[in-house]
């Protein structure tokens, strides 16, 4: 793997579109059981908000020194305002649609002594009017970016993902997709999709060997007219499938603490390295290293250039 391409990364421009959410953490101590019910009482000592979903992808791109613009839908509420503020702090350009009848997707986690005890999710799908605005913003931003990332968390912002892929292809912009669900036909025509091990199983079924996986992966790649397909496999590393070839890297993590958000880091690094002009193999190697750093951190987090070096 080459030296981190700092100068090329600084010129790289990545457009991120997808499901935006706010990750809210309440940290505290547990010293007693509630007298009202057999549940622990968490005395909250610290609160922290972090960008989640597609916003975390953009945050990771910015943390590595790349230029990024974020498109998505938020509600007209406190969480939506907080996302705008956090994005500004992280040097992310935003083109957000504010839906007046939508509540911003929010994941609230309660932790006692660094152990997650409870997660509460608030989520609603955006309406057609908001999705139409996303397409308009996307069309306006395409020419100003080198690479497109579509971050799908199945919250509705990418309900028309096929249209966005077609628009990007018409503009000759590579499209990297983090998929969700089992219907991958909607991602047809993307440049690459990056399912994790479980998502790949949902799409192609269980494989019995590496040769079986390669056969299924190449069949899916051909079916969806993809240039490449990357399967992220946790402790087994990552495997990239190209036309007639396979490239594997072993897991880089020294210690796994929390896998939440690691997929965002991998996708962000992969997109940024491709925008910087690196080969698929080199881009995957950097993404693997970044993912190995991310899983050693608590919650959705970013990886810096210093940590990759």
Catalytic residues: 264
Tokens representing residue 263 in the block: 């997929």
Strand partners, 238: 232, 249
Question: Helix crossing, 197-204 with 210-223: angle to 10°?
Answer: 70
CB–CB of 70/93 below 8 Å? yes
Tokens representing residue 271 in the block: 């997109």
Which residues contact residue 13 at a Cβ distance below 8 angstroms, ignoring those fewer than 6 apart?
A: 66, 67, 68, 69, 144, 145, 146, 147, 275
Q: Which of 219, 251, 217 is nearest to 231 (CA)?
A: 217
Strand partners, 112: 28, 115
Task: Name the helix (H) or strand (E) containing 50.
Answer: strand 40-53
Strand partners, 40: 33
115-122 vs 40-53, strand pairing mode: unpaired
Q: How far apart are CA 40 and CA 189, in angstroms?
A: 50
């Amino acid at each position: 793997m080459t030296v981190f391409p700092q100068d090329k990364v600084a010129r790289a421009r990545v457009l991120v579109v997808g499901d935006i959410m706010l990750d809210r953490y309440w940290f505290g101590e547990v010293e007693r059981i509630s007298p009202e019910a057999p549940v622990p009482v968490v005395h909250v000592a610290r609160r922290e908000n972090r960008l989640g979903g597609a916003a975390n992808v953009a945050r990771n791109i910015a943390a590595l020194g790349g230029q990024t613009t974020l498109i998505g839908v938020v509600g007209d509420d406190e969480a939506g305002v907080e996302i705008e503020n956090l994005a500004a702090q992280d040097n992310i350009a935003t083109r957000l649609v504010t839906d007046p009848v939508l509540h911003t997707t929010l994941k609230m986690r309660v932790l006692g002594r660094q152990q997650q005890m409870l997660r509460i999710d608030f989520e609603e799908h955006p309406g057609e009017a908001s999705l139409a605005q996303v397409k308009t913003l996307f069309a306006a931003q395409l020419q100003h970016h080198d690479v497109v990332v579509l971050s799908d968390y199945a919250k509705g912002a990418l309900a028309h993902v096929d249209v966005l892929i077609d628009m990007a292809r018409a503009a000759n912009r590579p499209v990297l997709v983090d998929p969700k669900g089992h219907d991958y036909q909607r991602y047809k025509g993307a440049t690459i999709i990056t399912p994790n091990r479980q998502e790949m199983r949902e799409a192609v079924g269980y494989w019995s060997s590496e040769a079986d996986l390669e056969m299924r992966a190449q069949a899916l790649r051909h079916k969806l007219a993809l240039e490449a397909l990357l399967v992220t496999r946790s402790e087994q590393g990552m495997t990239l499938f190209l036309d007639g070839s396979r490239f594997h890297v072993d897991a880089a993590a020294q210690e796994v603490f929390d896998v939440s958000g690691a997929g965002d880091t991998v996708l962000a690094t992969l997109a940024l390295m491709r925008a910087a002009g690196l080969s698929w193999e080199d881009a995957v190697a950097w993404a693997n290293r970044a993912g190995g750093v991310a899983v050693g951190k608590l919650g959705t987090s970013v990886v810096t250039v210093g940590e990759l070096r």
